[in-house]
């Protein structure tokens, strides 16, 4: 089993080849090939390589499939005894990627 821990858009995600992932918005067009270089950990058949902070010789190739927006998060604020109620909503922009290959 091969996997890697990658820093994408400020969050750390465990990636495996041949799987789909929804990550924070990446400004590239659907169909574009992208490459992730900030690999923090790489594991292949039980052998681990840990970066300090990143591994230089590991590259992850992925394809942008589409852009989408996540589920709505409602925020409701109430200030007691002031008759002040505020309701807001937020939908995060996401990018769906397909990991093709993890090469060492």
Is residue 72 within 8 A of residue 44, CB to CB? The reply is no
What is the per-residue pLDDT for 50?
93
Question: For residue range 13-29, what is the model confidence (pLDDT) as tens digits?
Answer: 999 999 999 999 999 99
Residue 96 has pLDDT above 90, yes or no: yes
Instruction: Tell me how many degrees the CA angle 75-81-86 measures, rounded to the nearest 5.
Output: 20
Residue 40 has pLDDT above 90, yes or no: yes
Q: How far is CA 34 from the centre of its chain?
A: 13
Residue 104 has pLDDT above 90, yes or no: no
């Amino acid at each position: 089993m091969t996997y890697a821990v990658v820093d994408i858009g400020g969050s750390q995600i465990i990636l495996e080849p041949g799987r789909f992932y929804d990550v924070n918005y990446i400004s590239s067009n659907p169909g574009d090939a992208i490459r992730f270089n900030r690999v923090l950990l790489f594991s292949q058949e039980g052998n681990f390589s840990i970066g300090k902070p990143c591994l230089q010789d590991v590259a992850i190739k992925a394809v942008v499939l589409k852009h989408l927006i996540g589920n709505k998060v409602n925020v409701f604020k109430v200030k007691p005894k002031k008759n002040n109620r505020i309701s807001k909503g937020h939908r995060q922009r996401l990018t769906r990627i397909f990991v093709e290959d993890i090469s060492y």
